[in-house]
Structure 1
Amino acid sequence: MAEEEPIEIGFPMVAAYHGQSALAMAAIVFQAQRAALALLSPEAIPARRDISIVSGHPGPGVRDAFEVVTRAVSRGAYTIDRALPEARFVPGQDISYSFRMAIGDRIAEIALLRGVLPERFFELVFTKARTAAQERELSALKRSIAAEVLAKDPGTLFSIRAG
């Protein structure tokens, strides 16, 4: 719910706002929000102003997907907590592929399931000096992951707990 009336936000809006740099994560977070909002507010459209986010992932695709849907970043209701213990898939990296979305006192804890992101994704993303060929491969992989994630039911991508 926007300020006065409901608005429908589809992934093309998220992609247009974000661009392509982290398209896979933008798609993942778009789907995470669909799952969380269905759990937290199954019978009513929640007001953006009532939603807050804690993200274990500091990336721009994550931030932008949350911002487009909830405006949490610009409202000051978005926090990054790299210490979230769930979905820590990359040894040596201080990053969690998990999120907490709250509407009032209702909280959804969402953690990406292992295997949604292929190992090659992590290999390429965390390569310090990628070659031009690796950049092209990563770009194609991100688009492929985004398409696959968007084609799935959100419940198949995450473990979700309501608290």
Structure 2
Amino acid sequence: MSIIQIRDGRTGEHLKKIRFEDVEKYHSGEFLMAIAVGYLSMQAGIEALAEGEILDRKDISVLSGHGGPGFRDAIEYVTRAQTRGALTIDVDYPVAQYDPHRAQSYAFVLTLKNGASVEVSLKEEFLPLEFYDLLKKGREGTRTEADELRLDQLKKELCDRALSMPREDLLQVKRLA
């Protein structure tokens, strides 16, 4: 798997090479699908904005259509946007609204200080209806132990699938500005 290269430090003097495994260690491990899709989304957005250069973390702001902890951890680990106050969560973002039970976007907008911006969205067919139904049961407090085990298994399967499939089959990248 490829890595994300990004600069950090007051003057961008530190080159960070971030792998999915680094984000996985940072995260609790409960939301594997989200950290995989979040990591790959950050990678795709950064590569599209960088145009062959290495970006500086402090120049990137992120709008996330999903406020869940897995996505937040992937965004934070790669960009430190939450720590820097450069992360906005908007579950009503009008792109990639696939959950039939609630507003929740699977889209991310990365914007540079110079105004360049890209939208990275998960393709609709990636997450099965069963996934959304199990999440709904959890919000309602009706998820059984069998449901919990199935959701854990599904998250792991989706994580592995996301990491192994061609990026163009998983994500759509669109330049906004």
Counterpart in the other structure of 1:100? 109
Counterpart in the other structure of 1:17? 26
Q: Which moved more, 1:149-158 or 1:39-48?
A: 149-158
CA contact (8 A) 1:32 1:154 kept: no
Counterpart in the other structure of 2:51? 42
- AA aligned opposite 2:152: S
- Secondary structure of the corresponding residue to residue 43 of structure 1: coil
Runs of 4 or more off by more than 3 Å in structure 1? none
Q: Any residues of structure 2 matched to 1:71-86 within 5 Å, and which?
A: 71-86=80-95
- Partner of residue 138 from structure 1, selected from 151, 160, 174: 151
Give the Cα separation in 1 of the matches to 2:16 and 2:84. Answer: 18
Where does structure 1 lack aligned partners over 5 or more consecutive residues? Answer: none
- Partner of residue 2 from structure 1, selected from 5, 8, 14: 8
Q: String of CA shifts for 1:17-65, please: whole Å, max 9, x gaps.
A: 1122211011001111111111110211100000100011110001000
Q: Does 1:28 align with 2:37?
A: yes
- AA aligned opposite 2:27: H
CA contact (8 A) 2:100 2:132 kept: no
- AA aligned opposite 1:80: I
- AA aligned opposite 2:8: A
Give the Cα separation in 2 of the matches to 1:99 and 1:57. Answer: 8
Q: Any residues of structure 2 matched to 1:38-77 within 5 Å, and which?
A: 38-77=47-86
Higher relative contact order (CA 8 A, sep 6+): 1
Q: TM-score, normalised by structure 2?
A: 0.88
Where does structure 2 lack aligned partners over 5 or more consecutive residues? Answer: 1-6
- AA aligned opposite 1:106: A
- CA deviation after TM superposition for structure 1 residue 97, in Å: 0.9
Q: String of CA shifts for 1:71-129, please: whole Å, max 9, x gaps.
A: 00101000001221011112340211111011221111111111111221111111122
CA contact (8 A) 1:53 1:100 kept: yes
Identical residues among aligned pairs (%): 34
Q: How many residues align?
A: 163
Q: TM-score, normalised by structure 1?
A: 0.95
Give the Cα separation in 2 of the matches to 1:80 and 1:120. Answer: 25
Q: Does 1:124 align with 2:134?
A: yes
CA contact (8 A) 1:34 1:154 kept: no
Q: Which moved more, 1:59-68 or 1:108-117?
A: 108-117
Q: Does 1:148 align with 2:156?
A: no
